[in-house]
Amino acid sequence: MKKHFLALAAIAMATLGLHAQNVATETIQKEVNDRLSNLPFATFQITVPSFGNKVVNIKDKGAIGNGISDASAAIDEAIKEVSESGGGTVLIPAGLWVCGPITMMSNVNLHFAEGAFLEFTGDKSKYTLSQSGSGFRMNALINGKKLKNIAITGKGIINGNGGTWRFVKKEKLTEKQWKAMTKTGEISADGKRWSPNIGYFAAEEKQKSLKGAPEEEWNKVKMSLRPYLLNVGDVDNMLVEGVTFMNSPHITVKLDRINGLVMKDVKVYNEWWYQNSDGLDISASKNVLMYDCTVNTGDDGICMKSSRGNGSAPFLLQNIVIQDCKVMHAHGGFVIGSNTDGGMKNIYVKNCSFSLTETGLRFKSGTGRGGRVQDVYCEDIFMKDMENEAIIFELTYEDKGAIVKANESQALTPDFDGISIKNVFCDGAKTAITLGGTPTLNVKNITFQNVVIKARSGVDAFRSEGITFDNVNIIPEVGPAFKLNKATNITFKNMPASVKTGTYAKIFSAETKNITFEKGKLQPSQIEILNGADPSQVKY
C-alpha cells in the first residue's frame, strides 16, 4: 500500500511539475512576443520550444548526487530515452552531480532543479575530439549538432571545472595569488604563464605542427585543447533559461547557426582573469532574443560573431534583440566581432548596463575576418568606470586565429556602415569614443544621439566618414572634447559649447574635409585647425 501511495505521489508531483513547466513556457512565449514588437527593423517571430509529457529523473537511472559518483551514463541514458520517446524533460534534481561531456538530443529539455549543482569531471580521458578544419578540437562540455526543439532550463548551477584546464597569465594576478597558484602545476619557460597540467606548454607548442595530423596525434596534446562549456550548432528552436554557467575552461556559451533562440535570465560567473572566457557568444544565427542576462567574465561579455563557413547568405547573423542585460568585468559589454565575414544586420541592443568592463560598446574586425555589418541599433546604455573606451570602432583588430588566403584578403575586409547609438550615459572611462579606420577602410555612417560621457580624454575620430554627433556631451578631464584626423563629412548638431579645457575640437590634416557645426553655441575660437587642415572645410 505504501509503495502504491509513493508511486501515485511521484506521478502527481511529475504532473504538477509538467503543468508548471507548460505555464512557464506560455509565459515566456508571451514575453517573447511582447519584446519583439516595436523594433527598429522588420519584426520577426520566435516559437519557444515546448516538450512532451515524459519526465525522466536521472536518479531513476542510477545517478547519485554525492559529488563523487559519475552520473554520465545516467544522464546520457535519460536524454536518449526522452528524445527517442518523442520528447520531454530530463530532470537534474538537487544534489552535487559529477559527469563527463553531455550530448544534447532533439526534443529534450535538460532541466536543473533548485539546488542542482553539476560539475564536469577533471578526468581528461572522459573527453573526446572532433574534426575541425585540418585539425581537431575538444568537444564542448555540453554539445550537440543538427537538433530541433531543445532547452536548458532551471535554477541550477553548471560548473565547467575550468581550473583543471586553464592556463593563467601572471600579469593578471597579485603576487600573493601567483605564489599560491604556482605551488603546483608548471610555469612557462618565459615565466609569464602557469598551467595546472604538467606538460601543458609542450603540448601547446606541439599543436603548431599538427596540421593535417591524425586524431591519435591530437589526442597526445589533449590537455592543451580547452573545451567550451556550452556549444551546440545547427539547431532549430532553442531555449536557455534561468541557469548559471561558471568556471568555464574556455568560451562559456557559444551558440552556432541557431534559428530561433531565446535566452532569459542566464548568468555567467567567471573571474576576470579567466583566459578566453567569453560569456555569451551568438554566431551566424538568426531570430534571437536575449534578455535579463548577467555576465561577469575574463573576455568579451555579450558577443556577436559571424563566419561564413559553408554559408552563402549575405548576412548569416541577423534579427538579434538584446534587452535588459548586465555585464560587469569583461573585455567588452556588448561586442561585435572580430569575425564578421559572415555578415550581420538587424541587431537591436536596448537598456543594458556595463560596469568595470574594459570597453562598453565594442565593434572590432580586421582584414581576414571582415564583412559587412549594418543596421545596428544600440540605445539606453548605461556605463560606469570603463577601463578603456566607452565606445570603440576598430578596423585593424588582429585575430591570430584568422587564416587569410591570398585571393580572399581583399574580400574579407571589415565594413561597419549604418549604425545608430543613442541615449548612452557613461560615468568614467579612459577614452570617450574611438573611431579608427585605415587608408582604404573607413568607419562610416555612424550616428550618435543624446550621449553623455565623462572620460579622461574625449572623442578620437581617425579615418572616419559620415559621422553625426547630435546632442552629444563629451566631458574630458584633459584635452579637447573632439579630435578629428583624416575624417570627412562629420556633422555636429545641438552640441553643448563648454568644456573644462577650453578647446572644444582639434582638427588635423588636409584630408579632413566637410566638418559642419549646426545649431550649437560653439564659437570658431573654440576650434583649433592644425597640421595643414583647411579652415574652409569647417563650417559653422
pLDDT band at 245 (very low <50, low <70, confident <90, very high): very high
Single-letter residue type at 204: E
Classify burial at 273, counting beta carbons within 10 Å of its beta carbon; exposed 0-12, middle 13-18, buried 19 or more: middle
Q: Is residue 134 scored above 60 in pLDDT?
A: yes
The answer as to whether 73 is a domain residue is yes
pLDDT tens digits along 491-513: 999 988 666 667 899 999 999 99
H or E, element range at 457: strand 457-462
CA angle 96, 102, 103 (to 5 degrees): 155
- The larger pLDDT score, comparing residue 8 to residue 335, is at 335
3 state SS for 349-412: EEEEEEECCCEEEEEECCCCCCCEEEEEEEEEEEEECCCCEEEEEECCCCCCCCCCCCCCCCCC
Please tell me the distance from the alpha carbon of residue 277 to that of residue 497, in angstroms, as a whole number: 42
Q: Is residue 137 scored above 60 in pLDDT?
A: yes
pLDDT tens digits along 249-293: 999 999 999 999 999 999 999 999 999 999 999 999 999 999 999
pLDDT tens digits along 173-222: 999 999 999 999 999 999 999 999 999 999 999 999 999 999 999 999 99
CATH of the domain at 115: 2.160.20.10
The answer as to whether 83 is a domain residue is yes
Q: Is residue 14 scored above 70 in pLDDT?
A: no
Please tell me the distance from the alpha carbon of residue 86 to that of residue 103, in angstroms, as a whole number: 17
Classify burial at 122, counting beta carbons within 10 Å of its beta carbon; exposed 0-12, middle 13-18, buried 19 or more: middle
What mean pLDDT do residues 344-351 have?
Answer: 98
- The larger pLDDT score, comparing residue 531 to residue 466, is at 466
Cα-based distances in Å from 538 to 64, 218, 488, 515, 535: 73, 60, 10, 5, 6
What mean pLDDT do residues 297-302 have?
Answer: 98
Q: What's the sign of the alpha-carbon dihedral 25, 28, 30, 32? A: negative
Q: Tell me, what's the pLDDT at 519? A: 73
The answer as to whether 79 is a domain residue is yes
Share of the chain above pLDDT 70, in %: 92
Lowest mean pLDDT: which of 66-80, 83-97, 183-197, 508-522? 508-522
Classify burial at 68, counting beta carbons within 10 Å of its beta carbon; exposed 0-12, middle 13-18, buried 19 or more: exposed
Which residue is it, cell 508531483?
13
pLDDT band at 375 (very low <50, low <70, confident <90, very high): very high
Q: Tell me, what's the pLDDT at 498? A: 63
The answer as to whether 304 is a domain residue is no
Supply the DSSP string of 500-517, one letter for each residue: TTS--EEEE-TT-EEEEE
Please tell me the distance from the alpha carbon of residue 88 to that of residue 514, in angstroms, as a whole number: 62
The answer as to whether 108 is a domain residue is yes
The answer as to whether 76 is a domain residue is yes
Q: Tell me, what's the pLDDT at 9? A: 43
Q: Tell me, what's the pLDDT at 499? A: 62
| Cβ atoms 464, 437 nearer than 8 A | yes
Cα-based distances in Å from 264 to 237, 261, 380, 434: 14, 10, 19, 32
- The larger pLDDT score, comparing residue 5 to residue 288, is at 288
The answer as to whether 50 is a domain residue is yes
Lowest mean pLDDT: which of 119-133, 216-230, 493-507? 493-507
- Which of these, 97, 98, 159, 143, lies nearest to 123 by C-alpha position? 98
Q: Tell me, what's the pLDDT at 117? A: 98
Domain that holds residue 91: 46-120+144-155+229-250
Q: Tell me, what's the pLDDT at 403? A: 45
What mean pLDDT do residues 235-261 have?
Answer: 98
The answer as to whether 323 is a domain residue is no
Average model confidence (pLDDT) for the chain? 92
Q: How many domains does the chain divide into?
A: 1
Q: Tell me, what's the pLDDT at 213? A: 96
**Largest Cα span, the chain:** 96
The C-alpha cell at 387 is 577601463
Q: Global pTM?
A: 0.93
